[in-house]
Amino acid sequence: WRGSMVAFRPKDKASVFVSNSVTQIEKRGYPAGCPHVNGFKVDNWKQNLRVIYQCFVWSGSAETRKRKAKSCVCHMCGAHLNRLHSCLYCVFFGCFTKKHIHEHAKNKRHNLAIDLLYGGIYCFVCQDYIYDKEMEQIAKEEQRKAWKLQGEKYSTWEPTKRELELLRHNPKRRKMTTNCTIGLRGLINLGNTCFMNCIVQALTHTPLLRDFFLSDRHKCEMQSNSCLVCEMSQLFQEFYSGHRSPHIPFRLLHLVWTHARHLAGYEQQDAHEFLIAALDVLHRHCKDDNGKKANNPNNCNCIIDQIFTGGLQSDVTCQVCHGVSTTIDPFWDISLDLPGSSTPFWPLSPGGDGSTLNGESHLSGATTLTDCLRRFTRPEHLGSGAKIKCSGCHSYQESTKQLTMKKLPIVACFHLKRFEHSAKLRRKIITYVSFPLELDMTPFMASSKENRMNGQYQQSVDVFNDNKYSLFAVVNHQGTLESGHYTTFIRQHMDQWFKCDDAIITKASNKDVLDSEGYLLFYHKQFLEYE
């Protein structure tokens, strides 16, 4: 899972894959998991473990949730967070991040503890989370009971008899090694179609989108020769077939021309415009109308909205009564202004003291992605020419407007506005913007708004920060507004980058990626929750 830059937590499909793998290991006669669990398996250990899951992990009822909120604090520092664990041998809660649970384990020789958020069992002798078949079964049973009490209909994925039969009859597996080139394939330029090729490379290397298409999840309700989703599915098959010769995406180009008429023709087009058009057509062609409630601001269950849709919160504050009007709108990307444009930019760098945020240093004076996000989320005075009718004052008043992230998407796409079009000016902005390999979006969340102090933010120290992202694709534009060329850097493994220049693919370094100009930046969430 780490190879895909995504860490799934123990309550999702990853635990099933681990369980199945360990079961196969046991059948082949290899060591059956952690040997230290035997010291715990005495007397009424099963009932004791069930009580811990019921009261302090899954907490299905309102009463148990209240009890958990009140009692589950670190017995040493009193913290609620910091990855709280409970000792399996005695009544002791300790935080993992500050190693208070480690101190307890060492002093008392209590070698096993349970993660109170996700239910994983940790062994302090093995120094890792462990698997035990009986414990896993108890965890699953109690989790299902909790879901039932909460009225949810979640279920863990397990292979069907048919799938197990296929696995038994086809023991050969394709392994992803560090030198593996599966998934890397060039695309023929069909005449100024580099704008399309660079976006296709970014989409085909989006982990969850790849998993969706390679597992045949799309059920087409259109004519297959007119469905863009069917063509994308075929494209993923071509990319991951192992063939090395460049692919000719003529059918994709034809469908784009058919469904996005403004992109038809052989003129050079904008890669950002193509991305939005492609996502829109894919969304329309694979829209899921099965009635299930969607957990995204677009209220749609299609794979595009599950991955790319976030929620942007707009707070308009009256300057007289300070009443706040809030709206939340869906977005697929965030467009960011750059220094050098006709739009005033603030701030260029925080304090000029060489401070670092998201691993971006300001010593060189370069503008950073964090600077651009600061400007995007700063309060903006709308002025006397844009008065709004305040529901509190019942009259038109001046106001301030501030944008923040209400809900982050799995894939965050940032569009650096390098092309400026106005009545007086048409040009490309070549300002260098420094962007990090890992990005923490916590300071720009609506929930962090109260922590803002003159544009400065309090950084989260939580190891499992749900708002952290990893860079996996960068689209660049070389040349001028009238004549240019698009290329893409894509991340194949955790530490391997490749440059895709139409039909030519070459290896690249981290420095090559981070020194590039940057036009579209694609970031993937590091941790995903099962939904």
Residue with tokens 């970031």: 523
Choice among 194, 198, 300, 413 that is catalytic: 194
Q: Is there a catalytic annotation at residue 485?
A: yes
Is the distance from CB of 364 to CB of 432 less than 8 angstroms?
A: no
User: CA–CA separation, 377 vs 219, rounded Å?
Assistant: 39
Is the distance from CB of 471 to CB of 521 less than 8 angstroms?
A: yes
For residue 57 the two structure tokens come to 């992990």
Cβ-proximal residues to 354 (8 Å cutoff; 6+ apart), any chain: 361, 362, 363
Element (H, E) at 211: helix 207-214
| Region of residue 165 (phi > 0: left; psi between -120 and 50: alpha; otherwise: beta) | alpha
Q: Is there a catalytic annotation at residue 477?
A: no
- State the SS3 of 168-186: HHCCCCCCCCCCCCCCCCC
Which has the closest alpha carbon to 474: 441, 497, 442, 444?
A: 497
Is the distance from CB of 507 to CB of 468 less than 8 angstroms?
A: no
User: CA–CA separation, 311 vs 331, rounded Å?
Assistant: 6
- State the SS3 of 35-90: HHHHHCCCCCHHHHHHHHHHHHHCCCCHHHHHHHHHHCCCCCCCCCCCCEEEECCC
Residue with tokens 């202004």: 337
Q: Which amino acid is at 454?
A: N
| Beta strands per DSSP E along 88-213 | 93-95, 112-115, 121-123, 128-130
Residue with tokens 């989260």: 460
Q: What is the DSSP letter of 292?
A: P
For residue 201 the two structure tokens come to 């490379």
Cis amide prior to 347 (ω within 30 degrees): yes
Cβ-proximal residues to 162 (8 Å cutoff; 6+ apart), any chain: none
User: CA–CA separation, 321 vs 326, rounded Å?
Assistant: 15
Choice among 75, 102, 485, 493 that is catalytic: 485
Is the distance from CB of 75 to CB of 92 less than 8 angstroms?
A: yes
Angle, CA 164 vertex, CA 162 and CA 165 arms, to 5°: 65
CB atoms < 10 A from the CB of 131, how many? 20
Residue with tokens 């394939």: 185
Which has the closest alpha carbon to 117: 234, 241, 11?
A: 11
Residue with tokens 């009971």: 145
Mapping DSSP to helix (H, G, I), strand (E, B) and coil, where does residue 458 land? coil
Residues forming the active site: 194, 485
